Structure 1
Amino acid sequence: MRDDLDHLISRLADARPDRSLDGFEHVVLQGVARRRDDIQAARALAPIRVASIGVALAIGVTTGGMAAASTLTQPPQISPFSTVAHLAPSTLLEGE
């Protein structure tokens, strides 16, 4: 079952190609051109991407800052599960 490597290579050289290579170079060059166009488009859109990230960051910081400021100005809510409630069951069980 062991075949000699030289014999296998000579059989491969004698065999006909299983597909035609006509137009192969043209297809490869089209792919290269398409890739080049994609890279140029990405470079052209890079400033827009950076600007959109900056806008998203500014919106997030502004919204987060406003939410933090609004929680500091509101009086604490008394709820059974709140840690600031003096009559919460957890504080009554401590025995202090």
Structure 2
Amino acid sequence: MRDDLDQLMARLAGSEQDRSLAGFEEAVLRGVARRREELRTTSALAPIRIASVGLALAIGVTAGGVGAATTFAQSRQVSPFSAAAHLAPSTLLEGDR
């Protein structure tokens, strides 16, 4: 079922336009200008984003380090329900390792 390209083009030329192309070029150029402005803004804010990520990473590492240091500095509490108890059933079942 092969149609001739000339017939298809003639049928397309004879049909009515379903939309107007008035203002199409201006809309495309406005979109291009808006995209360029967005890229310019994004590139201008890139150092601020990098600094923000670095600061958040530094705060997280510092807070995590302080939390870990205080956990290790505390004395171990020996009670039947503590995880570090030497007489916990889980440690007794392991045997001599």
CA distance in 2, matches of 1:4, 1:14: 17
Once the two structures are superposed, residues 23-66 of structure 1 have per-residue CA deviations (whole angstroms, 9 ceiling, x without a partner) of 00000000001001101111111111011011001101101111
CA distance in 2, matches of 1:57, 1:12: 60
Verify: 1:20 aligned to 2:42, yes or no: no
CA distance in 1, matches of 2:94, 2:3: 85
3-state SS of paired residue (1:4): coil
CA distance in 2, matches of 1:81, 1:69: 19
CA distance in 1, matches of 2:93, 2:28: 77
CA distance in 1, matches of 2:10, 2:2: 12
Name the TM-score, length of structure 1 as normaliser: 0.81
Ranges in structure 1 where 5+ consecutive residues have no aligned partner: none
Across the aligned residues of Structure 1 and Structure 2, the Cα RMSD in angstroms comes to: 2.0
The Cα of 1:3 is off from its aligned counterpart by: 6.8
3-state SS of paired residue (2:21): coil
CA distance in 2, matches of 1:58, 1:94: 40
Ranges in structure 2 where 5+ consecutive residues have no aligned partner: none
Amino acid at match of 1:76: R
Off by >2 Å, runs of 4+ in structure 1: 2-10, 77-81, 89-96
Match of 1:80 in 2: 81
**Cα distance 1:95–1:39, how it changes in 2: closer, same or farther (>3 A)?**
closer
